[in-house]
Amino acid sequence: MRLACWTILAAAALTVAGCSSYPDQAATRASAESMVSKSFTAPTPDLLKRLEQDRSQRICSKIGGARLTQEEAAEVVKLARASIQYPPSGKLAGDWKAGEKLAHDGAGDRIQFGRLEKRKENGGLCQNCHALAPGEINVGNIGPALTGYGAQRGTSDAVAKLTYERIYNGWAYAPCSNMPRLGATGHLTPEQIAHLVAYLLDPASPINRKP
């Protein structure tokens, strides 16, 4: 229902844009991208590359959040599947305590006052958007609640693999979702993601504590 509504809205927006406007889509894109190339500063030139979009990001940037075509969705899924790498050890579930710490860490890799925020590792950012252990109040709600995640799903290899992949690059399952492709973009390492998997699945983890 919601998707249908968005589709109608997007179609209406396109019609309006198509009938009435200069500049057209290509001209808008060119002028906006030129602005992007001139509107940011960074302590080192390589950091400016963060502004460049990869193919999937471009597909996922539709105005109005418009619905993907089937072909676009398939391409994003394909690119996502191809991006996923696993820890060299092959172990997809690491240490839940390390994962718990990461899940509550929202820092790392930000740029301010001409400096890059350098830390040993980036935070996992989970707490920003997901409800975690029962009773935790300081949690966001942009993503689904993860409370009881493992208790509901068990700890099979299949569940561990799915969980790992959804954190590494969730667009393999939900193309263009709000969830950052934390492994594929390099924000987290495979080992860090394995710790998060353990945090979500381990029966001893606070996330699976009975409320």
Residues engaged in binding other proteins (CB under 8 A): 21-23, 28-29, 31-32, 35-36, 38-42, 47-48, 50-53, 57, 60-65, 106, 109-112, 114, 125, 127-129, 137-142, 178-181, 185-187
Closer residue to other proteins in complex, CB, 166/202:
166
Distance of closest approach, residue 197 Cβ to other proteins, in angstroms = 20
126: enclosing H helix or E strand: helix 126-129
Q: What tokens does 110 get?
A: 């930000």
Q: How far is the CB of 65 from other proteins (least distance, A)?
A: 6
Task: Pick between residue 79 and residue 93 the one whose CB is nearest to other proteins.
Answer: 79
Long-range residue pairs from 184-188, CB within 8 A, at least 24 positions apart, any chain: 184/80, 184/83, 184/84, 187/109, 187/122, 187/125, 188/102, 188/122, 188/124
Closer to other proteins by Cβ: residue 65 or 154: 65
**Whole-number Å distance between alpha carbons of 133 and 209:** 7
Give the residues across from 112 on adjacent strands: 115
Residue closer to other proteins by CB (options 13, 204) is 13
Residue 169 C-beta: closest distance to other proteins, Å = 10
Stated as kind and residue range, the H or E segment containing 124 is: none
Alpha carbon distance 155, 30 (integer Å): 49
Residue 43 tokens read as 């302590």
CB of 54 or CB of 89, closer to other proteins: 54
CB 58 within 8 A of CB 36: no
CB of 109: closest distance to other proteins in angstroms?
A: 5
Give the type of residue at 34.
S
Task: Give the other-Cβ count within 10 Å of 107's Cβ.
Answer: 11
- Work out whether the CA dihedral 12, 18, 23, 27 comes out positive or negative: positive
Cβ proximity to other proteins, 144 vs 203, nearer residue = 144
User: Minimum CB separation from other proteins for residue 151, in Å?
Assistant: 22
Minimum CB–partner distance for residue 19 and other proteins (Å): 14
